[in-house]
Amino acid sequence: MKIGFIGLGNMGAPMAQNLIAAGHEVTGFDLAARPEGMPMAARAAEAAKGADVVITMLPNGAILQSVAAEIHPEMAAGAVHLDCSTVDVDSARAVARAAETAGLMAVDAPVSGGVGGAAAGTLTFMAGGPAAAFDKVKPLFDIMGQKAVHCGDAGAGQAAKICNNMILGVTMIATCEAFALADKLGLDRQKMFDVVSTSSGYSWTMNAYCPAPGVGPTSPADNGYKPGFAAELMLKDLGLSQMAAEAVDADTPMGAAALTLYRQFVEDEDGRGMDFSAMLPRFEKRGRG
């Protein structure tokens, strides 16, 4: 396929490189990044011109809508705008409506798997949009990732990502709290892991991404909490979850509490630039006061 790829940061660049390696013709655009070995356009509209698919990987919904307004008039009728950003549901739906008005198809498909998954081509895509559009870009999902789930109509991909990451944020806090409590009770961390990882406390944050250094599989905790998934990105996703919850009048007290804690960690403490699992050393240093 002829593909435009707009947004070539830590996630977008390796995703685009995997498409090039698979034989697709990719033209990129980014305001700052210029990955090696990739043809680059001077403007987003230029990258989109004549493309079968335009992929966007952008920071927020406002930027996404601005870029969509620029690229949609340049895309051929029937082309697909595949947005892999993590944004609010309303923005995803607004872009889908704009695409339909322009004679295009749109898929919102945020990803899970981090920078490592982007480089390895093992991402999971949560997709919303028409079945025909999903089917057209499915071969690209197969190159960039290991799984793609068609979750429903426009916005459903963002809804799935927001709900997933709300669970992730809440669970990581609970896991870190439990380790900090175990420390103060004199329980060895490895023994704690051995019990919890095979008992009812089993979770992804414990078993696959343990926040305690030297315990369980290798994780960012074993690398000085350098981010695999940065705390400020978790803060962003928890903010999106609460924005969505407010819009549909959903009661999400644990999600709201997680947002408050990650906001404090990132904005008022030393969490910015750290992995989201660095909540553990935060709790280690704190008492109940």
Enumerate the active-site residues.
Answer: 161
- What DSSP letter does each residue of 194-226 carry, written as one string? HHHTTSTT--HHHHTS-SSTTSSS--GGGGTT-
Q: Is 155 helix (H, G, I), strand (E, B) or coil?
A: coil
Q: What would the two tokens of residue 69 be?
A: 């307004």
Q: Which residues of 135-164 are buried (b: 16+ CB within 10 A; e: fewer)?
A: ebbeebbeebbeebebbeebbbbbbbbbbb
The residue whose two tokens read 């599989």 is: 217
71 within 8 A of 58, measured Cβ to Cβ: no
Distance separating alpha carbons of residues 137 and 60, to the nearest angstrom: 22
Crossing angle for the helix pair 189-196 and 156-184, nearest 10 degrees?
A: 130
Alpha carbons 271 and 229: distance in angstroms, whole number = 12
**Do 8 and 28 contact (CB within 8 A), yes or no?**
yes
For residue 187, count other CB atoms closer than 10 A to its CB: 14
SS3 76: coil
